[in-house]
Amino acid sequence: MSRREVDVGQVTRIEGALKVSVNLDEIGDVSGAHANIIEFRGFEKFLIGRLFYKTPIITTRICGVCPVPHHLAAAKACDSGLGVEITPTAAMLRELMLMGEFIGDHTLQIFVLGGPDLLLPDLPESKRGIVELYKRYPDVVKDVIKVRSTGQELVSMLGVQAVHPMTAIPGGINRHLSTSDANTLLKHVREAKEKIMGWYDSIVIPIIEKAADSYENLGYLRTNYLGLVKNNNIELYDGTCKVVNGTGKTLAQFHASEYLDHLQERTVPYSYAKWVYLKSLGIDDGIVRVGALGRVNVAEGASTDFAGKLAKEFKAKFGSPSHSTLSYYVARYLCLAYAVERAEQLLEDQKITGTDVKAPWKMKAGEGMGVVEAPRGLLIHHYAWNSERYITKANLIVPTTTNSYPIDMSMKSVAQRSISEGEVDEEKLRHEVGLTVRAYDPCISCSTHLDDYLLIEIKGADGKTVKTIGGGAKRSGIENA
């Protein structure tokens, strides 16, 4: 058999457009695979020449699903370049906004994007969505909507609007929180916390953990891991970057300003996303994963009560570190629990209603780096600007960039389960490719659109399509990009 490709275009229920291509050898076995991230975003280029202090507003437009991390990473990069230390209240308000992002985003992913694969496994993929989920779990879906709305409420209260917030500025934040609003938010956060904790026994253990066990080797990948920690606990807003290897040994711990000493980026010919790997280990051994699994693997535990308990159970069950790609789902629930508990802690602190939220600074040339955990993993913003306040250099490392190399590696092992000597188990391939990609929860273009179909194409050596599996209405330029 001549060499050919199996192309997977447009995996459903992810943010953005992703095409997976599987390479076959001469006898039709899998020789490799890669994910084509085929949407182009030019933010690093068109930020050049912009006023640096506008980056927190501009970069929220990178993503409509998770704009808060970009908003805050940009503000922190400005703080760093100006040498300004924000006030404790400003830091708390920024962190609370980020907790709102995590509450809304992780709830969405667990139940609406990736979750239907685990909660509705008996249904065809085309029917695994919120409608069928509601038919089977009506009370859960109602609670999901309420919890997600609480996350959105936190962001909109602190950022003026839930999508593309606008209040974080160099030196702090330009909005303070009244006692009345804080009390309202605290009430809603406590209600959300109760619902989230209730999902553990009703959904997480009997369904999500069970599925992770049953698909233990699906997309299995032994890698290094990267995430923020504070006192070696999970941290989302303000900590140090920690790297562990496949045995859990700490390889590095560094501040945002030192990221260039540890991380290397490399372009690949088939994707608009770069690969990110550890500079000290090189491209072959330096593969690194971020996101919920990365956060849990690099940390020794969590500083809040329920999440701390979950962290111990996770490590005992899945390993420390865990290399099971499907354990991303369980780790994501752990991070959701931490976010809602941390939001409650912040709102219980009287300092959060303080009015001292802006630190003074003087205009000057500078260069700064800002880092936060986005829902999908470690996010780095790096800017340099001149004395006229205009940006001269911009670099962004988004989580899906870092995870694009691991996704490639996972896709190869997934495809090997469905393809042998040119024979393709179409249903299994479609299901397991989608299931694994969604475990990573990639934000392909850092934008707001979803797609509604999965297309797999088998191509001959001449590039012509031999067979098409599934698919819906064509999207211009995607199938053969």
Predicted confidence (pLDDT) per residue in 197-234, tens digit = 999 999 999 999 988 888 868 889 999 999 999 999 99
The pLDDT of residue 426 is 78
Cis omega before residue 321 (within 30°)? yes
How would residue 171 be classed by pLDDT, with cut points 50, 70 and 90? very high
The pLDDT of residue 474 is 36
Q: Classify burial at 13, counting beta carbons within 10 Å of its beta carbon; exposed 0-12, middle 13-18, buried 19 or more.
A: buried
Nearest to 435 by CA among 396, 407, 463: 407
Q: What is the CA angle 250-255-256, rounded to 5? A: 120
The answer to which of 33-37, 133-137, 176-180, 280-284 has the lowest mean pLDDT is 33-37
How would residue 462 be classed by pLDDT, with cut points 50, 70 and 90? low
The answer to which of 88-92, 131-135, 345-349, 472-476 has the lowest mean pLDDT is 472-476
Please give the biggest Cα pair distance in the chain. Answer: 71
Mean of per-residue pLDDT scores for the chain = 88
Stated pTM of the model = 0.90
pLDDT in tens, 308-340: 999 999 999 999 999 999 999 999 999 999 999
Angle between helix 88-108 and 328-348 (nearest 10): 140
The pLDDT of residue 399 is 93
Residue 446 confidence (pLDDT) above 60:
no
C-alpha 437/C-alpha 125 separation (Å) is 14
Q: Classify burial at 131, counting beta carbons within 10 Å of its beta carbon; exposed 0-12, middle 13-18, buried 19 or more.
A: exposed
The pLDDT of residue 83 is 96
Angle between helix 179-199 and 328-348 (nearest 10): 150
C-alpha 11/C-alpha 468 separation (Å) is 15
